Amino acid sequence: MSESIKKVVIAGGGTAGWMAAAALSKLMGSQLEITLVESESIGTIGVGEATIPTLVFFHRLLGIDEAEFLRETQGTYKLGIRFENWRDVGKDYTHAFGVTGKDCWACGFQHFWLRGRKMGIAGDFGEYCLERRAAEEHKFTHLPKIGLNYAFHLDASRYAAYLRKFSEKFGVKRVEGKIDLVQLHPENGFIRGLKLDSGQVIDGDFFIDCTGMRAMLIEKALHTGFESWSHWLPCDSAVAVQTEAVEEPVPFTRSIARESAWQWRIPLQTRVGNGLVYASSYQSDESACEQLLENVEGNTLIEPRLIKFQTGRRRKQWHKNCLAVGLSSGFLEPLESTSIHLIQQNIVRFLRFFPQSEIHQCEVDEFNRQCEFDMDRIRDFIILHYKVTDRSDTEFWRHCSQMEVPDSLAAKIDMFRETGHVFREANELFVDSWQQVMLGQGLEPERYHPLVDSMSEHELTEFLQHIRTNVDNTVAKLHGHNEYLKGYLSGAIVPPR
């Protein structure tokens, strides 16, 4: 394709479509004609109502007002995820945002903590993480220079509607209709246009596939192929329901491991998002629905919704003049709230690679390589929760603890078990998270870095106590989460810049 890109067509709305529209229109709207095609009659998955801190930076890139966003989406703050029954029944831990303790040039904080535990002078690993302590005490406050790392819980449908209004202010044109046919150029196989069920044809220079798991452009039209990860992630179904809020929202997501499934609980301002992710080979749809409804609080607001999925990714997320964003690019269960992150990652990465005059295959290949790396590492991190567990109470958990895992994950587990090291690869998303989850799941290293032994017992005690005291003092100054949220949204509390 040798022509410059002037007309971008986004196929599908929902969170993925309107995030793409918002970013393209705000950052490149003066150079592009952007059209989004969606149908009111096609529902969206909308289960990913929890996010990670990268969304804060996405909003800042777009100049989105945080208070307005929270009001429009019934949003609350999130400092991490509480994992219940994952290590074993009755054993819980919190995977929090931010960094635990203080690293040195040669090794991570976990090495100092390991020696401290051996000597009996260190507390729980999470006591040295500000975000974890704040989450467990149900506190939140904006701190200067992003002193407290945070994300959001949000209503995905409201978020899409909010971004639609945002995008239309910057010139995005929305067209109502179902896509009936993807038209291809006969000479090169690039997409030429989208024929709607009304007969209207929407032509364009570049197309973004946000059609969800149907993947109408990237797969059905361009046949890029799909790599399944179901042999590593056996869950293939979910049932979701919304309930009335019966208590104040807490600043963390709950992930509760069940016999052959896990349940999410996501608190918004006036309701709670609930769901159960399960493996249909171990549990029927009927029993999953019953189990979810038996373990929710408050009256249900909708009928439970059943969702079938296959974990994995497209072999190419950018092919010819088409980019897959959201579920059309692949699916990873929302255990670590990475769905919206992967949407924004593809959008921002595409903007970095945006063709100046024509599409160059070398850029497409590099884009796809980076996407592959990101998804593979997030995949490994999610598999870690299933693989490293002491649970053996059901056939499901016995299978998970004994299953083969990707070589990249096996190497990471072995490295941490034998040496206590975790090394970040390239621009990998998770850093401190690996230590938190591996320790939380019960994987404790056999040794620590010898450099730590250069500290005397007194010095190590002072070092650990100083970190813990700083965390204690900061947490003591924070507001209660619900108190702060109400004050911030009403304008009574103005956060520091």
Active site residues: 78
CA 58, chain centre distance (Å):
13
Our CA dihedral for 361, 205, 9, 187, rounded to 10 degrees, sits at -80
Whether the CB-CB separation of 121 and 460 falls below 8 Å is answered with yes
By C-alpha distance, which of 349, 312, 350, 306 is closest to 328? Answer: 312
Nearest to 257 by CA among 405, 92, 125, 95: 92
Q: Would you say 329 and 371 are in contact if contact means Cβ atoms under 8 Å apart?
A: yes
* Helix (H), strand (E) at residue 285: helix 285-294
- How would you label 368-394 residue by residue, b for 16+ Cβ within 10 Å and e otherwise? bebbbbbbbbbbbbbbbbbbbbebeee
Of the candidates 64, 73, 40, the residue with the CA atom closest to the CA atom of residue 159? 73
- DSSP character for 75? -
User: In the numeric block, which tokens belong to residue 318?
Assistant: 């950018």
Interatomic CA distance for residues 466 and 244, integer angstroms: 42
33: helix, strand or coil:
strand
- Amino acid code (one letter) for 252: F
Q: Tell which residue, 462, 347, 409, 482, has the closest CA to residue 112.
A: 462
Report which DSSP code applies to 259.
Answer: S
Q: Are 305 and 241 in contact (CB under 8 A)?
A: yes
Sheet holding 305-308, edge to edge: 91-96, 80-88, 253-257, 261-267, 271-278, 237-244, 305-308
Written as six digits, the tokens of 446 are: 């056999």
Kindly list the distances between the CA atom of residue 291 and the CA atoms of 187, 253, 260, 277, in Å, as whole numbers in the listed order: 54, 19, 11, 11
* Inter-helix orientation angle 66-73/481-490, to 10°: 110
What type of residue is 437?
A: V
Residue type, 242: Q
Contact 154, 75 (CB under 8 A): yes
How many Å apart are CA 52 and CA 80, to the nearest integer?
8
Residues 6+ apart with CB under 8 A from 473: none
- Look up residue 152 and give its DSSP letter: E
Tokens of 408: 């990249």
Phi-psi category of residue 68: left, alpha or beta, with phi > 0 → left and psi -120 to 50 → alpha: alpha
Helix (H) or strand (E) holding 37: strand 33-38
